[in-house]
Amino acid sequence: MSGRSLGRALHVGGSPGNAGPLLAAGLLTGAAIALVWVAARVLGQATPSWPALLAGEAAVILAALAAGAAARTRRQAERVLLTAADVTCVAGLAVLALAIAVLLLGHLPRSEQTRMVGPLFAGAGLAVAGAGPTRRAVRAAVRHALRGPRHAADDVLRMFGEQTSRGVDLHEALAGLADALRRQLSLRRLEIWTGTGGRLTAAFGVHPPSPTAMTLADAEVLALSRTRVAGPGWLALWIPRLLGEPAGGAGPAGGALEPGDVPLRLVPVRAGGALLGLLVAERPASAGGFTEAEDRLFAELGTRLGTVLHNRELDANLRDALEDLHRANDELRLSRARLVAAADAERRRIERDLHDGAQQHLVSLAVGVRLVRDLVTEDITAATELLATLGDQITETIGEVRDLAHGIYPPLLRSVGLVEALRAAGQRSPLGVTVRAAGVGRYRPEIEAAVYFCCLEALQNAAKHAPGATSDRGVEVVVALAERGDTLEFTVADDGVGMEPAAMRPGHGVTNMRDRIGAIGGSVRWASSTGAGMAVHGIVPLGAEVS
């Protein structure tokens, strides 16, 4: 029994406020003095007389009783008792060592040898007192040489927290954690699994598991969410397959285990109630079971690792969101640049059409009017014929201006809406166009314009790229519009020859459609295959409608 164990055994008082522990400490100290006195007397050393010994013993006991009267001393009573127990044990073991030496020598020290008894006794006492610390230091040095430094539980958690807070790569941080745990807890197997939704992957392992992925059922995830640290018995009751299977083992423990075969701990890694991973630790049966302190370490580690994995997941989601935002900003910038360029090109086209068409007709009309003015007094017949010609030119000019206006913004779209405007555009198309509408009303002008011009672009593309239709009367195109919930959906599908998706290249028309629909928050996509024609599908959020 160690000194401190003996001290606890002799703890006759209740609390530190009781004088019992101090009295016990006095008795123990007196016993140690008496033991040393007896040993010295037997070995022939000069010692005080019996009355002096008894007086010293009484003084020690009285001092202990007097110390019990002071509140400050009473608060330290247990420490005093433990110290007295340690002193008594050292004295007893020193005396025992001298007794063994005398037995080996075969006789008591002779007169010329008695002067060596004191130093031997003091050396034996120092050796006994330093045996415990020396043993622990030597074992630590040997362990350091064989396994590297061994850290306390708090140091393991602190080092892992520091690594993750510095942004160290997760695999590197897990490797450092696994190495520290292996040394601290004498583990022969350590597995760290990460994942979400019950789908876990082995992120790191000392003796990595096989296979390296597993899927947990919902009931198993629920069971794991209700425990902090699980042992073989708990696993055998709730999730026996995680202990392993005889045919090779599908669980993280690897191999078939019976509850109690080896010290095993499975630690759910959670954050916010969600299972983010598992930590599996196993040590050899010869190393003994896990202690309560080690289980607390596992529980704290599961919480911290869950926080780290949750933060890493949030960081990854934030990075993805930022990348999407940057990509969307780039696409928006390019889309705006294309819209500006398209608007400039459209203005140049309008200027060119006005210059080459309507303006030339108006100039010709002005010349004709001057000729009529000159002929009206000289040749009335010629003037009449010229007026008829001018009338035809005026009609032609009106038609060109009307066509130009349709290209800029069709009047039907403004007056009667999207469906009738598309039907009118279909009648002007060289293709066979059918417009089908279900519950389509009036919408904001920007929505109607975007959908109209997108469908018009699709019709032009069909006329340009789908010459080989299966229909006897050429390419047939169906324009379908439908309002579903708070979105307007449209489809422009032809029965032309189509093409493979890999051969599709986004041209100027496709880019215009994407930009127009994207500018009002919608999306557009294309579907085609050889022999199945081409279909353009678009979805536009409606928002506030216009009656």
| Secondary structure in 3-state letters for 134-175 | HHHHHHHHHHHHHHCCCCCHHHHHHHHHHHHHCCCCHHHHHH
Residue 288 pLDDT: 79
pLDDT per position as a tens digit, 281-331: 888 887 778 888 888 888 888 888 888 888 878 888 888 888 888 887 777
Residue 491 pLDDT: 93
Tell me the pairing of strands 213-215 and 199-206: antiparallel
Q: Report d(CA 273, CA 196) in Å as an integer.
A: 12
For residue 2, give every residue at least 6 positions away whose Cβ sits within 8 Å of its Cβ, in sequence order, or none.
Answer: 89, 132
More confident residue, 481 or 161: 481
Band the pLDDT of 250: cuts 50, 70, 90: very low
Q: Among 193, 159, 190, which Cα is nearest to 306's?
A: 193
Band the pLDDT of 547: cuts 50, 70, 90: very low
- In DSSP terms, 491 is beta-bridged to 480, 537
Percentage of residues in the chain having pLDDT higher than 90: 4
Band the pLDDT of 471: cuts 50, 70, 90: very low
Q: Is the pLDDT of residue 539 over 90?
A: yes
CA 93 to chain centroid: 59
Q: Is the pLDDT of residue 57 over 90?
A: no
User: How many other β-carbons are positioned within 10 Å of the β-carbon of residue 217?
Assistant: 11
The answer to whether residues 443 and 418 touch, using CB atoms and an 8 Å cutoff, is: yes
Band the pLDDT of 474: cuts 50, 70, 90: low
pLDDT per position as a tens digit, 338-397: 666 666 666 666 666 666 666 666 777 777 787 777 777 777 887 787 778 877 778 777
Q: Report d(CA 481, CA 411) in Å as an integer.
A: 20
DSSP of 237-264: HH-GGGG--TTS--STT-S---TTSS-E
Band the pLDDT of 436: cuts 50, 70, 90: very high
Band the pLDDT of 130: cuts 50, 70, 90: low
Q: Is the pLDDT of residue 219 over 60?
A: yes
CA 212 to chain centroid: 19
Band the pLDDT of 469: cuts 50, 70, 90: very low
For the ranges 50-54, 207-211, 450-454, which has the lowest average pLDDT? 207-211
Band the pLDDT of 478: cuts 50, 70, 90: very high
Band the pLDDT of 537: cuts 50, 70, 90: very high
Q: Is the pLDDT of residue 58 over 90?
A: no
Band the pLDDT of 135: cuts 50, 70, 90: low
pLDDT per position as a tens digit, 65-98: 777 777 766 667 777 777 778 778 877 777 777 7
The answer, as to whether pTM is greater than 0.75, is no
Per-chain mean pLDDT for the chain: 74
The answer to whether residues 231 and 200 touch, using CB atoms and an 8 Å cutoff, is: no
For the ranges 194-203, 342-351, 390-399, 456-465, which has the lowest average pLDDT? 342-351
Band the pLDDT of 9: cuts 50, 70, 90: very low
Q: Is the pLDDT of residue 278 over 60?
A: yes
In the chain, the domains with their CATH numbers are 3-147 (no CATH), 153-314 (3.30.450.40), 315-408 (no CATH), 413-541 (3.30.565.10)
Q: Report d(CA 271, CA 309) in Å as an integer.
A: 8
